[in-house]
Structure 1
Amino acid sequence: MTERTLYEEAMCCSTGVCGPDHDDELLEVSAALDQLEEAFDIEVSRANMQHDIDRFLETERIADLVDEHGPSILPITVLDDAGLARTDDERRDRHRSARGTRRSHDSVRGSIR
């Protein structure tokens, strides 16, 4: 069985799609990962810096890349603990921008309560 791990920046929850104002792109990623598991013999897991920091630290290559480049290097996909794939810069920027917008919205909403 093929194993695929997606190492991601810190998010509010393990998938980034919680709350009333979720990022549609993260929802698409979650759906795509579910489809991979169903359609192929692939086990998919996600490692979020905020919730799974131990997995980052235990995976030396990921820890070294994040240490050298910072979290801007994420997301990174690992296949069978061997192959690494980075998300292209444009998609990563959209991913970050959408999360930043959601965080700003949550901060404002939290300060109104």
Structure 2
Amino acid sequence: MNKVEIFDPAMCCSTGVCGPSVDPELTRVASAVYSLEKKGFNITRYQLTNDPDKFAKNKEIHRILMEKGPDALPVVLVNDQVVKVGSYPANEEFAEWFEVKAEELNEKPKSGLSINLNQL
């Protein structure tokens, strides 16, 4: 089974739904990652803001950042090999890496919060 790691730039969240405008690319990637995680695949995202140690400890990521700076992010590794620099994978690429259909990667995370207003 393939292992995919995504090294995100510094940002407040990985979903793209923070701030005044929604980034549809981040939302698409978050949905694909969520769907793959739910299916049990080995996919992980690291944010420069929250996981700086992962960036420093990975020799390839560290090298890319030293050569190109933070504008090179995101960087995507498949089985510890750099496959993308500066952009996120298309759903078709995720599908190929994990041998699923691209249409399976559109599931949105659901909130587990339930509020009954009649009991307030």
TM-score when normalising by structure 1: 0.64
Match of residue 33 from structure 2: 33
The change in CA–CA distance for 1:54 and 1:16 in structure 2 (over 3 A counts) is farther
Is 1:42 paired with 2:77? no
CA distance in 1, matches of 2:86, 2:47: 18
**Structure with the larger helix share:** 1
Q: 1:50 to 1:88 in 2, by over 3 A?
A: closer
Structure 1 residues 29-60: Cα deviation after superposition (integer angstroms, max 9, x where no partner): 10011222345x52211111111111000101
Whether the 8 Å CA contact 1:74–1:86 is kept in 2: the answer is no
Whole-angstrom CA distance in 2 between matches of 1:64 and 1:77: 14
- Give the deviation of 1:2 after TM superposition: 2.9
How many positions carry a matched residue from both structures? 88
Distance (Å, rounded) in 1 between the aligned partners of 2:64 and 2:83: 12
Structure number with bigger Rg:
2
Equivalences for 1:22-101 in 2 at 5 Å? 22-39=22-39, 41-80=40-79, 82-87=80-85
Asked if 1 retains the 8 angstrom alpha-carbon contact of 2:75 and 2:84, the reply is: yes
1:3 is displaced (CA, Å) by 2.0
CA distance in 1, matches of 2:84, 2:51: 19
